[in-house]
Amino acid sequence: MRGRPRYCALVEERYESELAQSAQVLDDVDRALERLSAGTYATCENCGQSIADADLAADPARRTCREHTAAPAGDPFSFSA
């Protein structure tokens, strides 16, 4: 079984990746709950403006308004110069 060690390595790599993503989600939720307790939930951490309800519905842990949210590289809807 020559391919088995490589298969195990791939499974372990995927597990580690999913574990890291889950930890990030939990951290984001914790920060959102802290902002809710502090009365700053739905407020941009950069400029203090309100975060749109639609944006919060899409991502309840969102910390910044649209203006301060970095678009992914190559995003065709990015208007940054």
Note the pLDDT tens digit of each residue in 35-71. 999 999 999 999 999 999 999 999 999 999 999 987 5
For the segment(s) 4-68, the CATH number from 1.20.1440.20, 1.20.120.910, 3.40.50.150, 1.10.1200.10 is: 1.20.120.910
Tokens 């574990």 locate to: 19
Distances (CA, A) of 11 to 16, 20, 47: 9, 14, 42
CA 31/CA 73 separation, integer angstroms = 25
What is the distance of C-alpha 62 from the center of its chain?
7
pLDDT in tens, 64-77: 999 998 755 555 55
Distances (CA, A) of 48 to 12, 23, 61, 65, 66: 41, 27, 16, 9, 12
- Residue-level pLDDT at 36: 96
